[in-house]
Structure formats: structure tokens, C-alpha cells
Amino acid sequence: VVVRSVPMLLLILMFSLQLCKAETNMSSILITGSSRGIGLEFVKQLLGHANPPAILIATCRNPDKATELQALAKNNANLHILKLDVLDFDSYDSVVNKTRDIVGNKGLNVLINNAGIHRGMKNSLSLVTAKDLTDVYLTNTAAPILLIKAMRPLLKQAADVNNSAPMGLSRAAIINISSQLGSLTNNNNGGWYEYRESKAALNMAARSLSVELGPEGILVLSVHPGWVQTDMGTSAADLKVHDSVQNMLNVFYNLKPENHGTFVQWDGKPLPW
Ligand code: NDP
């Protein structure tokens, strides 16, 4: 019995070592729009996660007013708060430099583009304005693309440092918080011109990014969080923010190379573009 169990014990030991290795590789995550809603819930649940990131960078446009984030930072040494208004494109280089100072030579493993805006119930053509179209496009589409461009060297650094790991959170990943409203296939109700076009364009960018960044070992995922009870989703939404984020984190922590360049909802179910 002893002779038979020794190889089995060795196998278990090797498997455990692999798990430990996978757990320690994912060292850093940066999230935009962390002051409230889904972004803040990501921060809370990542801090309490069984396998938390060694470094969690929560960005928001008004750190002084982000009282919940500030309170969390007091009790969690791995939480760093950085000021980032995603519309302030000129500040990106400085945010990248501050991120580099925090993550050191390991690079940035995960960028979650979460910050977003929605112009409410204006859902008919007669209500469309040039300002709404451009404002929503700049925040929901241009900003994530330009931030990815700025953060690319840090993401690539993480992908290179962890080049023995498969594509996924342990290596390098970009996660765009998109919306089912950006799905061309699922648009049977029309309306919400500026929001739908902004997320459809973000999805298109994700496809191009997956082609360009895949060879660098950087996984790209578009995710629909569900209709979620936040300021944006309103209290009429069917998903609690806790449940949406818990499910999404489960999807993120289990990302595999085959998830690269895909569009999924909060529970991992594939969505049509
Ligand atoms: P909320 O309106 O509750 O929160 C939006 C967040 O984005 C806030 O933290 C806000 O910061 C931040 N933000 C907005 N503009 C900027 C900016 N210029 N710079 C930095 N941060 C900014 O929305 P949700 O949490 O519900 O939405 C998060 C993401 O999920 C969005 O991308 C949204 O499109 C997407 N989504 C949400 C759904 C839902 O049902 N809730 C459904 C589908 C997708 P501040 O506090 O400073 O305003």
C-alpha cells in the first residue's frame, strides 16, 4: 500500500505546487471607475478573495470624495488609489508612470476598463444629440482604447515575465466591461443610440485588440455584467451588484486561452457580437 501511495503522494504534491505557482503569478490588477457601482464592488470582492491580487490599483476621478475606497485602503495595504478621469487623456502617461512605480518590474497583469456612462432613458432618434453621441463615445470607447494603448508596455511586461503561464489572469489580460446593448445580433428593441453604439464600437475594438495583442500573450475579453442594480442600472435591475461581480470574478479567475477575443455575460455564457 505504501509503495503504491508514494507515486500518488508525489502527484498530489506536484499538482499543489502548480496551483501555488498559478496563485502567486497574478500579482496586479488596475480598475477604472472604482468610486461606486460595479467598480467599487470589484475592489471589495477582490480584497476579500481567497486568492487576492498582491497589488490592487483602484482608479477614480475624485479620490478625495471616494470615502468607501479611502476606508478600504486604510485596512488593506495592497490597495492603491490613483486619480484617473478617463477623459483626461493627457494624464495617461503620468498614470502609467505611477502604476509602474507601484507594480515594479513585474508589469501589470490585469486592466479592467469599467468606467462608463449612460444617458438614461433617451431612447429614440428624436432625442439624439451630437453632444450625447460624442460624450458617451469618448468615455465608453475612446478612453478604454487609449488607456490600453498607454498601459500596453506594462501589460506586455507582465506577459513576458510570466511567459510560461497560459494566457489568462496569471499572465496578462484586458477586460472591457461592455454591455449586451452593444450586441448587433441581440438588438431587437432599438433605441439608446449613443450607449449601444459606444459598446458596439468597444466590442469591435476588442476584436482588433485580440488580433494585435494575442501574439504578445495578452488576453482580451469583453464582458456584459448583466442588468445590475447600480446608479446606472437603477434599482429596477434584476441582478444585485454583489452577484454580478461574484460571477464575473469567477469567470476572470478561470480564464483560459480559448476565452481570448470572446464576448461573454456575467456567468460566462457566450454572447453574440
Ligand atoms: P455607475 O454609474 O454606478 O458607475 C459608473 C462609474 O464610472 C463611477 O465610478 C464613475 O465615477 C465612473 N466614471 C464615469 N465617468 C468617468 C470618467 N470620466 N473617469 C473616471 N471614472 C468615470 O455604473 P455601473 O457601475 O453600473 O457601470 C460600470 C460599467 O458597467 C460601465 O462601463 C457600464 O456601461 C457597464 N454596464 C452596466 C450595466 C448595469 O446594468 N449597471 C449593464 C451593462 C454594462 P464617478 O463616481 O466619479 O462618477
Using one digit for the tens of pLDDT, what is the confidence trace for 99-114?
Answer: 999 999 999 999 999 9
Contact 216/195 with Cβ under 8 angstroms? no
| Ligand 1 atom nearest to 180, measured from its CA | 43
* CB-CB neighbours of 109 under 10 Å: 30
| Ligand 1 atom nearest to 86, measured from its CA | 19
Residue 100 class from Cβ within 10 Å (0-12 exposed, 13-18 middle, 19+ buried)?
Answer: middle
Contact 48/242 with Cβ under 8 angstroms? no
Longest dimension (CA), the chain: 79
0.95 cut: is pTM over it? Answer: no
Q: Residues 190-230: pLDDT tens digits?
A: 999 999 999 999 999 999 999 999 999 999 999 999 999 99
Contact 103/21 with Cβ under 8 angstroms? no
Residue 225 class from Cβ within 10 Å (0-12 exposed, 13-18 middle, 19+ buried)?
Answer: buried
Q: Which of 31, 38, 202 to mutate to test the pocket of ligand 1 (most atoms within 8 A of CB)?
A: 38
Q: How far is Cα of residue 47 from the mean position of the Cα atoms in its chain? A: 15
**Which residue's alpha carbon is at the smallest distance from atom 10 of ligand 1?**
33
pLDDT of residue 26: 72
pLDDT at 83 > cutoff 50: yes
Q: How far is CA 128 from CA 125, 192, 195, in A?
A: 5, 9, 11
- 269 CA from centroid of ligand 1 (Å): 22
Q: Tell me phi and psi for residue 265, to 5 degrees.
A: -100, 180
Q: Please indicate whether residue 26, judged by its CB atom, sits closer than 6 Å to ligand 1.
A: no
Contact 219/225 with Cβ under 8 angstroms? no
- 12 CA from centroid of ligand 1 (Å): 44
Q: Is the ipTM of this complex over 0.85?
A: yes
| Ligand 1 atom nearest to 36, measured from its CA | 9
Residue 32 class from Cβ within 10 Å (0-12 exposed, 13-18 middle, 19+ buried)?
Answer: buried
Distance, in Å, from the CA atom of 270 to the CA atom of 260, rounded to the nearest integer, reads 12
- 49 CA from centroid of ligand 1 (Å): 22
- 24 CA from centroid of ligand 1 (Å): 30
